[in-house]
Structure 1
Amino acid sequence: MNDPHTSTPNDPLATERRRLVEFATGARVPRRGFGWLDASGGLASHDPLATWINARMTHVFSLAHGFGDGNTAELADHGIAALRGPLHDAEHGGWYTSTADGTKGAYEHAFVVLAASSAAAVGRPGAEQLLTEALDTVTAHFWEEDVGLALESWDRGWHTTESYRGANSNMHLVEAFLAAGDVTEDPTWHRRALRIADKLVHEVAAAHEWRLPEHFTPDWRPVLDYNHDRPRDPFRPHGGTVGHWLEWARLLVQLEAALGDTAPEWLLGDAEQLFDSAVTRGWNSDGHPGFVYTLDWQDRPQVRERMHWVVAEAILTAAALHRRTGQQRYARWYEVFWDHARTHHVDTEHGSWLHEVTPDGRVSESVWRGKPDAYHAYQAALLPSLPLSPAPAVLARRTLSPSR
């Protein structure tokens, strides 16, 4: 868990970050944005452009620029141009799901906020304006102040909102609000992040024995049989998504650090409960190494493929809990998770990480095809080197401008 500010050329985390960034540069589509990469790093698809991919790539390239993980300033600017151009609705405001889908989702808007926060922090042109508009859009169209949670999606003209409510989009808004609060120094965003966590983790997950339901009615009642017939959905699978329990746990620890003396005591305790739930219920649960993708509500493995993002979040959570508590069990888990990632996901032949493998370690594409996402793996190789707060973007800014 080395400091990226002082890492040496032989630092394995720094080496991994640069390797990931080099692979991700292949996603650049001239004059447009970032496309979908195949397993070898070629463009599997450049049309349509997906907002979530473009925003995640912009976030990664902005951080990579700040921490010296490649010559990526122009790539960050390329992402900003896509988010201000073909993916942005100049008529009605907000961001399309993709250039082929005019609906507008909280999930995508969360990543626009995250990307704009990181790009603004490292001084990329146009990023501050993008961040201001993104936060204003989230406030105007997604945030429900009386509930303390966000709506899921709208049609293009902001006339009709979906009846579905989702934990996944709200979880990513927690991450985005943490970054935005640190970059803008506006505590509103940290308070909103806490309200989301309070409802979905401290109330809902606790009430389900630290299994977090993902899908809800408009009045936020869990729908446990949602997508029962589509268990392999990449964004809304049926059952419990173990990786999200880990991701939430990491975010709770970071939220506690961001809030400082005003943080409620339950944040750390809930994070540890979620971590233990994920490890006890999801790790090696079918007799094979690694975390299954989903469990049913009796804790039986449902989709057994191993996803790269799940072990990446496990690495991050173990690192965060070890930094927060000093407990050696988290340091041991950190090493176990990295060993698993290197054995089953890190692709030293073609680059990046294998996004999905079968329980016995073969490449699979039942949920994810190719390697479109550098976000989870890059953060797994960066955040363990950083303090829990402020957001990585702020630390990247300090690297570029040490006097700030």
Structure 2
Amino acid sequence: MKLIKSWRWFGENDSVTLNWLKENGIEEVVTALHHISNGEVWPEEEILKVKSKIEAAGLGWSVVESLPVTEAIKTASDLRDQHIQNYKTSLRNLAACGIKTVVYNFMPVLDWARTDLNYQIPGLGESMLFDYPTFAAFDMYILKRPGAENDYPTELKVAAKQAFEKMTADDAERLAHNIIVVTQGFIDGVIDPSIEDYKQEFLNHLQRYQHIDDVQLRANLTYFLNEVIPVAEEVGINLAIHPDDPPFAVLGLPRIFGNINDMEWLANTNPSQNNGIAFCAGSFSARADNDVVEMAGKYAHRIHFAHLRNTQTLPDGSFYESGHINGTVDMKALVNVFLKEMKERSARIPMRPDHGLKGVEDEGLTANPGYPQFGRLKGLREVEHLEEELLHP
């Protein structure tokens, strides 16, 4: 029994066509209703429009990534209960259309962060890098977040100052725009890219978390889960939380899902089997003290969906995306965890090759940051090869 070969597709504006996916052995598409604003109900007729296009190409759609959890829910502000009611309605509508798994995240403001979207790995291709000193320089000297200097150790502050002093004004603007706008724009980000002073708008969002720490954010997640999990159980949908990316504190924001202790907390907070995990190996592996294979093995029964990619961590806390096979994670051992779990539950787990290295074949092709067409296909083939080695040694 093998993992279900799926692919993240960004809808009609995606440069990758459904027919190409079918021709290259993809079984299921992972997508969302990107045209509907965060917090609004996903109508059944809109879900069916997307589903019919996918099925017309001979593909399936069982995983939504993502049904966004709004900032109102994360901060427990005035619109929280209305947005949760809308979320419940969307879950019912998705279930009526045959969707089995819904991915979400509980990351405040920033969905993911990288400092270099065109990082070159000699001999391998173009990747993405999170350089900690550069990110700290963005926080302290470009964004100028109040109190930012208190969040970094002396050694990192020195490195950040040196990194900033090497930047031109254009470099600094490009870095800020990439972190705040470019990496967030295609995943339902909170910042309107048309806003001229996007950095101030970003600071305004950060300010809303001034009095929300990890404890309070967990309480807000608990409230959300206790509201929506009964509906998920009722309609037969598995909810799957995506880990924080990176899985450690950034910008003074609370971070509550990045290590094995957080996984244990999630399981204890709401024991329902519908309260599960979207296991992103790349996100978890960006934290050097995470044993990703151990984490997957311990909570395999809660994993409803998998992102397989690798990272290489660096001594100062930085990391870069190193493809799918080589890196911090023993990918063969991780794939073996999933194969054993599928045998145990007699059901296949959907997997997608997450991100990928941009190589020669991707030159000149349009793609969202981190989502090269042929780089992801190469990663998928590498994972398939590991499956074959494990199933037929």
Interval of TM-score (by shorter of Structure 1 and Structure 2): 0.3 to 0.5
TM-score normalised per structure 1: 0.35
Structure 1 or 2: more strand by fraction: 2
Give TM-score scaled by structure 2 length.
0.35
* More helix by percentage: 1
